Amino acid sequence: MKLIMAIIKPFKLDDVREALTALGVQGLTATEVKGFGRQKGQTEVYRGAEYSVSFLPKVKIEVVVPADMAASTVEAIQKAGNTGRIGDGKIFVLDVAQAMRIRTGETDADAL
């Protein structure tokens, strides 16, 4: 299993969710976060307002998928989250040793 963590622009969340749903991903976690990357110190437009601050609003998406779905999931996030402008975000892929559904006790792939 793989944990795919993506940091994207907030207005791309619905596009990414739709792309993942079309792939068969059954669930994800989204968190509002703030951060900066290479665009630090540059002006960014967010919801019609200009920001020239160190931290910009982002959304972190976390999804666990079977290892054989990792590449297609990363590709779907990249395509749906891309605006072609600085600050589009990053995608990280990590190994998951174990997963368990709390309600039923199912483990690993059955817990997804």
What residue spans define the domains of the chain?
2-111
Structure tokens, 30: 């989204």
Q: Please give the Cα distance from 87 to 82 (Å, whole number).
A: 10
**Residues 11-67: pLDDT tens digits?**
999 999 999 999 999 899 999 998 877 766 566 676 777 666 677 889 999 999 999
**pTM, full prediction:** 0.84
Q: What is the CATH number of domain 2-111?
A: 3.30.70.120
Q: Please give the Cα distance from 27 to 8 (Å, whole number).
A: 17
